[in-house]
Structure 1
Amino acid sequence: MATGYRPEWVQGAFVDFIESRLHPFWSLSMPKIRLLARHRLSDDLIALRFETNRAFRQQALRTQEGWQGGQYLNVSVALAGIFHQRSYSLVGLPEHPLWWIDDSTKAKTSKNPLRHTVTVAIKPQGLVSDYLTKRMPIGTTLQSSVPTGSFTLAQASLVKETEHNQLAPLLFIASGSGITPMLGLITEALHNGHHVILLHYNRTILLQSQWQQLATAYPEFTYHLIDTADASTYLAGTRHLTADSLLTLDLSLAETQIFACGSRALLTSLYNAAAQITLPDGKSLRDNIIVESFGTNFFDATHEPTLNKESTAPPQTVYLRARQRQFSSDTTLLAAAEKAGIRLTHGCRQGICQLCRCHKISGVVKNIQTGKLSHDGNEFIQTCINVAVTDVVLDV
């Protein structure tokens, strides 16, 4: 039975093309953001507030209530005719006022609710970040993803309670700009009623006013801002994170979920500290750690060799089923493929943006950030932070 005339050219892509010519912010299916304002959080951290288009809001609200603390945006920026993609952590939560928005700003934006905006925090370094934080005109429109990422409270299965029928305590550990995903995470955790402790290691004290406001509003929140150049701020008498640093905290570590984000040195220190702490019933503190890192050169707590482009591991064969190609891998799957002249989809190359995520059909891989081995069956992995331990088949 005929269902009516449907010309093939009337497709979403065609509508998007027409709308983009009428107005660069309009799109039927493509999430876009438009720069509204910048706010300096510190000398080396800038917050950028964006208005979201209708496609962004529809897609974000279809999968979840806006977004979760700890997630990020993939943003595409055209510079000199070349598109660059970067990932930036979201600050705050949907419909949650940011601490620097004063009453006058709220009044001006009352017709555009906060849920129609997103804010990211950026460290002005590198080609793209420098442009976004210093030179991009207000009102510029960018293509973006919807909020994404698994560095969230939900990842830790926090619905379970402690043996005392209380919500599990949470410890957030960050260094440098690794503090940015913690802003939304901690706010969400406090709203949910968790006991929260923050450790932030940095060259200067950052966001002290914000943390003090939260501590005043939530007595169950404690924070320690460690200025690595000021001995009076140290925990356990050291500028570094150690087992003694963790043991000085008022926490039952066996029941505590740890979120960590920062440099290789911080994550290495955390895993080494966790290995030195004995928990009851044969439990390992390492199993309580969830990591979001800014680099792949990560030393495992077992002191195994770090794997990067220059180092080697026993070579394994990687099969790309869809392409009917194969290559030998003695480093990360992404680097080995590129060495063999095979281009795989990727973004940040640091395990953050998830663009390199693909389906592993069989074989065992090792995550070079956490040291964890995968199982031998079907699962999704990231090629930029995994090395082949056995022969591997990827659905690529």
Structure 2
Amino acid sequence: MANGYRPEIVQRAFVDFIGSRLHPFWSLTTPKLRLIARYTLSNDLIALQFETNRAFKQQTSKISNDWQGGQYLDLRVCIDGVYHQRSYSIVGLTNQPLWWLDDTSDSNIAGQRNTVTIAIKPQGLVSNYLTKQMPLAQVVDTSLPLGHFTLEQTSVIAKENLDNNKPTSLLFIAGGSGITPMLGLIIQALRKGHHVTLLHYSRTVLPKLQHQWQQLNDTYPDFIYHLIHTEDSTTYLAGKRYLSAEGLLSLNLSLADTQIFACGSQALLTGLYKAAAEITLPTDKQLRDNIIVEDFGTALTDVDNGSNQVFDKTVSVEEHTVYLRSRQRQFSSNTTILIAAENADVRLAHGCRQGICQLCRCNKISGVVKNIQTGKVSDDGYESIQTCINIAMTDVVLDI
């Protein structure tokens, strides 16, 4: 018999359907997570540890054997019969012991080989549900590890440094829970021989996390960390409470040859780009070109026309009217179109609310909108837009 197409006698989708009725964690094709533990790291940061199912493990191993430091997951969570999708950073690396646990024995590490952990603030509908209400052993659908906030982004600058016989220097700047995606990144960077400096701005103190940094400092001489407690002036850099050009210069790094990873609030990222604009490099480079931000949630890489005004997802602008042509509805908007619609009790399709999942994408018939992440202003004509990251700059007509 000639080799060729061989139809499946039993379709995998059918097996998945039957399996999900027997046990919601079983699936041949859909990655799933089962909540097995919660850890309170501080008043505003809770870690959730999940067991991964067979589909997650198999599909992840096919891509890259495991996930990279700095990546995230899109979780699909059902609350009161409605599915919501949110993105959360993965803590640490595969087979790496959780840094807040004292037990680092082989048995503890072995028990984590089939788990993945995220750390989130208990704020918002989905985060509150995950951290406070979802029962242990509850199952949620998940994406595979996603994102480009990884060491692969350092390849260009690392090559330049290698050609010039210079060591590759990495600077990590985090604000609050923005430290989450950096835990695995920093360990990966140190293992690869990078010179690593960490700035972590926080309103709270995490003693076990501080212990983790000290352990890394003891193990890797090229690791330097600065924990800036914004309520303690003795921890400030260059006498400044928040990120500043003086603080960056006080690190005595060759900033022109340093790759910067940043994750935090809009205010922190705005301060970083403002500081970068104030620093003159001894080459024809601009420091902002060395900056990589985590962009699935809080990152915003530009300011508005040099005015230092930053658009976030709730910023108020001049009020305009958004028309939904198919529904024959309209509402006023002075923030993102999605939020304005919800404020007017109009339900629009959405998922992550962060410009990643594309579920809110629709067609604009006319009008001008501005992307709050890139600062790009659209043409006054037909195009596809995302309602969660665009604000109306004129009256807008949507094909909804």
Fold in common (TM above 0.5): yes
1:91 counterpart letter in structure 2: V
Deviations 1:16-66 (A, max 9, x none): 111111222110100001122222222221211111111001111122221
Task: Specify the alignment match of 2:264 in structure 1.
Answer: 262
Q: What's the counterpart of residue 300 of structure 1? A: 303
2:159 maps to 1:160: yes
Which among 272, 275, 279 is matched to residue 274 of structure 2? 272
Alignment-derived partner of residue 311 in structure 1:
317
Q: 127, 149, 152: which one pairs with 2:147?
A: 149
Task: Answer yes or no: is the 8 Å Cα contact 2:350–2:359 preserved in 1.
Answer: yes
Identity of aligned residues (%): 59
> Does the CA contact (< 8 Å) of 1:314 and 1:330 recur in 2?
yes
Q: How does 1:1-396 map to 2 (within 5 A)?
A: 10-103=10-103, 106-107=106-107, 110=110, 112=111, 114-157=112-155, 159-162=158-161, 164-206=164-206, 207-292=209-294, 294-295=297-298, 300=303, 302-303=306-307, 305-307=309-311, 310-311=316-317, 346-351=350-355, 353-355=356-358, 368-369=372-373, 371=375, 384-385=388-389
Classify 1:383/1:192 alpha carbon distance in 2 versus 1 (closer, same or farther; 3 Å).
farther
Corresponding letter in the other structure for 2:61: L
Query: What CA distance in whole angstroms lies between the structure 1 residues aligned with 2:7 and 2:242?
Result: 69
In 2, Cα distance between equivalents of 1:5 and 1:199: 56
* Structure 2 stretches lacking a partner, 5+ long: 322-332, 379-383, 394-400
Q: Does the 8 Å contact 2:25/2:32 carry over to 1? A: yes
Displacement after TM superposition at 1:106 (Å): 4.4
Letter in 1 for 2:213: W
How many Å apart are 1:373 and its aligned residue? 8.9
Measured against aligned partners, the alpha-carbon deviations of 1:319-339 in whole angstroms (never above 9, x if no partner) come to xxxxxxxxxx99868779999
1:297/1:369 contact within 8 Å kept: yes
Question: Residue 195 of structure 2 contacts residue 223 of structure 2 at CA under 8 Å; is this kept in 1?
Answer: yes
2:141 is paired with a residue of what secondary structure?
strand
2:260 and 2:67 map into 1 onto residues whose CA distance is 21
1:347 to 1:167, Cα distance in 2 relative to 1, 3 A: farther
Q: Kindly tell me: are residues 209 and 265 of structure 1, through their superposed partners in 2, closer, same or farther at Cα, counting changes over 3 Å? A: same
Q: Is the contact between residue 333 and residue 387 of structure 1 (CA under 8 Å) also seen in structure 2? A: yes
Match of 2:327 in 1: none
Distance 1:386 1:184, change over 3 A: farther
CA contact (8 A) 1:299 1:305 kept: no
Q: Secondary structure at the match of 2:273?
A: helix
The aligned amino acid for 1:228 is T
CA distance in 1, matches of 2:341, 2:299: 17
Q: Distance in 1 between matches of 2:335 and 2:122?
A: 31
Q: Distance in 1 between matches of 2:233 and 2:168?
A: 31
TM-score (ref. length: structure 2): 0.79
Which SS does the other structure have where 2:256 is aligned?
Answer: helix
Confirm or deny: 8 A CA contact 2:293 2:301 kept in the other structure.
Answer: no
Cα shift at 1:128: 2.3
Q: Distance in 1 between matches of 2:200 and 2:392?
A: 34
CA distance in 2, matches of 1:388, 1:131: 31
2:263 touches 2:299 (CA, 8 Å); kept in 1? no
Q: Secondary structure at the match of 1:280?
A: coil
Distance in 2 (CA, whole Å) between partners of 1:349 and 1:290 is: 21
Residues 72-114 of structure 1, C-alpha deviation per residue, up to 9 Å, x if partnerless? 111122222222222111011112222234448742663x5x3
TM-score by length of 1: 0.79
Alignment size in residue pairs: 380
Q: Tell me if the contact between 1:121 and 1:180 (Cα under 8 Å) persists in the aligned partners.
A: yes
Q: Deviations over 1:164-195 (max 9, x none)?
A: 42442111111111111111111111111111
Q: CA deviation at 1:6?
A: 5.4
Tell me the distance in 2 between the aligned counterparts of 1:222 and 1:296: 24
Q: Unpaired runs of 5+ in structure 1?
A: 316-328, 375-379, 390-396
Q: Which amino acid aligns with 1:26?
A: W
* SS of corresponding position for 1:157: helix
**Change in 2 beyond 3 A, CA 1:198/1:62:** same
CA 1:129/1:249 → structure 2, altered by over 3 Å: closer, same or farther? Answer: same
Q: CA deviation at 1:12?
A: 2.7
Query: CA shift at 1:236, angstroms?
Result: 0.8
1:227 maps to amino acid: H
